[in-house]
Amino acid sequence: MKEALFFEQLDDGRLRCSLCRHRCIIADGKRGICGVRENLHGTLMSLVYGRVIAEHVDPVEKKPLYHFQPGSLSYSVATAGCNFHCRHCQNYSISQVPPGTVEIPGTKRSPADIVRRASQAGCRSISFTYTEPTIFFEFACDTAVLAHEAGLKTIFVTNGYITPEALELIALHLDAANIDLKGFTDSFYRGVVGARLEGVLETIRDYRRHNIWIELTTLVIPGLNDSDAELAAIARFIADELGVDTPWHVSRFYPTYLMTDRPGTPVETLDRAYDIGRGQGLRYIYLGNVTAPGREDTACPGCGEQLIRRSGFSILANRLATGCCPACGTAIAGIDLAGG
């Protein structure tokens, strides 16, 4: 265990955790919603520091990030736990810590271990992903500092519920994030996820204020967040508050975990979301979890020239040697677009 950051002592031995927007009030001997931060006699402890439950070398496109070092490798790490309880979580076996779990599973790793392994694997970045990186903030922050010293970029793949004060601390050591915008109604967030929509929207705005490169992902679930009105509201939020150059990944839902009562998302629904996003002025929209020729590629918003061709997580061709369209000179939004 390691003493956590971002908490204050209340009366009767209780603590308020201010790492995420739940701002849990935790009694002595109890844990927060995430299941991995515990009040130990008046001190908040992280139960997952250095306890890595997953680590892999991934293409950065898997995060998904399409405008951040395309074609490069990212060293992906996670610990157990999450501050959301999504009924459709694909990684529920590691994100959802059962109540009463005495020892959190994981392999011991230090921040230096992660940076060394990333460098040895030829990665250009380290991604904190699979579960929610906010809940292993102390470990992620220490690793991110060392990663920058070693010349590696850092990435959060996140549900977007970190507090402003916590983001403020790590922002200087965080280069990019893919943030889930899971829906656009508070009823969806409360019923399916266990959070509040406005908290996510405020967090996304905070990331933008810190000039962290962001791309958004929406998993489209039939009957829950797939109406024209809701998809248009998401696209409009992106265009109006983040800018039309912000990439939007629209992904296919597959039945899993506690949500096996719904079918997978029809491809036609994803195509409809694509068209709706275009109608709101978004320049970069990508379909995910589905084979969609042409809808995974990056085209120049100026002349329409195909610049990065993809198949799944693989780059088939990248013509962005300078980050600008070679046909018309239009600058393409992103970071290190020449890729790996």
Q: Within this chain, do residues 129 and 32 fall inside the same structural domain, yes or no? A: no
Q: What are the Cα distances from residue 81, in Å, to 38, 58, 84, 193, 289? A: 12, 21, 9, 14, 24
- Provide the pLDDT confidence category of residue 137 given band limits of 50, 70 and 90: very high
Of 159, 174, 189, the residue at which a domain comes to its end is 174
C-alpha to C-alpha distance for 308 and 293, rounded to whole angstroms: 12
Q: What is the pLDDT of residue 279?
A: 98
C-alpha to C-alpha distance for 66 and 131, rounded to whole angstroms: 20
Mean pLDDT, range 235-245, rounded to an integer: 98
Domain of residue 91: give its range: 49-174
Q: Over the stretch 83-116, which tens digit does the pLDDT of each residue have?
A: 999 999 999 999 998 887 888 999 999 999 999 9
Q: Within this chain, do residues 122 and 11 fall inside the same structural domain, yes or no? A: no
Mean pLDDT of the chain: 96
Q: Within this chain, do residues 93 and 156 fall inside the same structural domain, yes or no? A: yes
- Provide the pLDDT confidence category of residue 292 given band limits of 50, 70 and 90: confident
The answer to whether residue 164 is domain-embedded is yes
Please determine, for residue 48, whether its predicted confidence score (pLDDT) is greater than 70: yes
DSSP secondary structure code for residue 207 in this structure: H
- Domain total in the chain: 2
Cα dihedral 138, 139, 141, 143, rounded to 10, equals: 160
C-beta separation of 152 from 125 below 8 A: yes
pTM exceeds cut of 0.75: yes
Q: What is the pLDDT of residue 37?
A: 97
Kindly give, in sequence order, each residue whose CB lies less than 8 Å from that of residue 124, ignoring residues fewer than 6 positions away.
60, 69, 72, 73, 74, 152, 153, 336, 340
C-beta separation of 114 from 136 below 8 A: no
Mean pLDDT, range 301-322, rounded to an integer: 94
Q: Within this chain, do residues 58 and 136 fall inside the same structural domain, yes or no? A: yes
Q: Over the stretch 198-208, which tens digit does the pLDDT of each residue have?
A: 999 999 999 99
- The CATH number of the domain holding residue 169 is 3.20.20.70
- 137 DSSP β-pair partners: none
- Provide the pLDDT confidence category of residue 339 given band limits of 50, 70 and 90: low
Mean pLDDT, range 1-25, rounded to an integer: 96
Q: Within this chain, do residues 6 and 83 fall inside the same structural domain, yes or no? A: no
The answer to whether residue 289 is domain-embedded is no
Q: Within this chain, do residues 68 and 14 fall inside the same structural domain, yes or no? A: no
Please determine, for residue 291, whether its predicted confidence score (pLDDT) is greater than 70: yes
Q: Over the stretch 159-185, which tens digit does the pLDDT of each residue have?
A: 999 999 999 999 999 999 999 999 999
What percent of the chain clears pLDDT 70, i.e. is strictly above it?
99
Cα dihedral 166, 170, 172, 174, rounded to 10, equals: -120
- 314 DSSP β-pair partners: 311
Q: What is the pLDDT of residue 340?
A: 57
The answer to whether residue 191 is domain-embedded is no
Write down the residue that tokens 């290190």 correspond to: 336
CA 264 to mean position of chain CA atoms: 22
In the chain, what are the helix, strand and coil shares in percent, each to the nearest 5?
30, 25, 45
Q: Within this chain, do residues 81 and 110 fall inside the same structural domain, yes or no? A: yes
Q: What is the pLDDT of residue 274?
A: 98
Q: What is the pLDDT of residue 101?
A: 84
